[in-house]
Amino acid sequence: MTTYLLAGGGTAGHVNPLLAVADGLRARDAASDVLVLGTREGLESRLVPLRGYELLTIAKVPFPRRPDRAAAVFPARFLRAVADVRRMIRQRGVDAVVGFGGYAAAPAYIAARRERVPFVVHEANAKPGLANVLGARTAAGVGVAFAGTPLRGAREVGMPLRREVVELDAPALRAEAAAHFGLDADRPTLLVFGGSLGALRLNTAFEGAWRDILDAGWQLLHVTGQTSDLADPGAEGYAVVRYVDRMDLAFALADLVVSRSGAATVSEINALGIPAVYVPYAVGNGEQSLNAAASVRAGAALLIPDAEFTPDRVRAEVVPLLADDARRTAMRDAAARTGIRTGTENVIAMIDEALAR
């Protein structure tokens, strides 16, 4: 029996690919022991047990950004976290460690190296996090979701994706999807979403431009976010929903997407071959723009900066695209060429290679 320790968490961007790989390992060999390492504060504290995996936790030890009291106590706290992971590796007989970034990843990489256990790094974003930059230096394998991600020894393996996305048969589900959202399966559909919390910039732009979408002969599925107070005008062909728990149905209905460009979002849209217009979230270190860059270069997507995304910009760039069948077909073909549906299998193959050395 092989025992795997999957380390990462904090955000959905770390937890979801981790869980996809965990599911892939368990599906391949039910006798394997798949453990997850995270913190009590991260999203993994809720999602990992819900998926049926054992969660081992260590203290959350952020890398210090300024010379303050936290920086003074950081070395001792970090070494304590590393020691905790080393003890877990020995006690549980861990054969391989797989890290996905986040607070738990860096201690796991160092602990694995000191225990002489092979470890593999997966980076979801085009701009890598500090933990994975450090881990990649001595990892047995480094996989990235996007080509050109600056990590030592990186191999493009794609994003480990949810099974409902990987296995999605959009034509077969289109009628069910249309009925689910109260739309027409025979009309082209623009899907707009900004994540579970929505995106105020997208909501405001389409609040002022939804009529133009309908006038172009399209219908609009607009996922506004759980906290949005955007009014539903009740217009035929315009479905306003706060939250979607069946994104597979939303994707099955989508002929064009306007969305943020988180790593998972871009990976899923490309894997499904859907043309897109990305409006990168402007806060952070610019990773969303970088995540979308390869799709834009390939011709699979357009990018409009957040500050410029207005109703007028929707009318100037999105509405003409609705009428240009040839351009959307070319974008769809480019997305299909860019997308990778085998990210989970590719990461597992890296793990197997590391164990075989």
Give the DSSP H/E element, type plus range, for residue 79.
helix 69-92
Looking up tokens 């050395």, which residue turns up?
A: 357
Residue 208 in marked binding region: no
Residue 265 in marked binding region: no
Taking the CA atoms of residue 198, residue 199, residue 203 and residue 204 in that order, the dihedral angle to the nearest 10 degrees is: 150
Closest CA to 269 of 157, 187, 192: 192
Helices (H), the chain: 12-28, 44-50, 69-92, 105-114, 130-136, 163-166, 170-181, 200-207, 210-215, 247-253, 263-271, 287-298, 311-313, 319-323, 325-338, 343-356
Closest CA to 19 of 164, 170, 168: 164
- Torsion-angle region of residue 153: left (phi > 0), alpha (psi -120 to 50) or beta? left
Q: Angle, to 10 degrees, between the axis of helix 287-298 and the axis of helix 325-338?
A: 110
Which amino acid makes up residue 355?
L
Tokens representing 102?
Answer: 């986040």
Closest CA to 43 of 21, 18, 20, 63: 18
Residue 13 in marked binding region: yes
Residue 91 in marked binding region: no
Residue 228 in marked binding region: no
Looking up tokens 């993994």, which residue turns up?
A: 44
Residue 125 in marked binding region: yes
The answer to whether 246 touches 253, Cβ cutoff 8 Å, is no
Tokens representing 340?
Answer: 């990778």
Residue 199 in marked binding region: no
Annotated binding site: which residue ranges?
A: 11-13, 125, 162, 196, 288
Annotated binding site for UDP-N-acetyl-alpha-D-glucosamine: which residue ranges?
A: 11-13, 125, 162, 196, 288
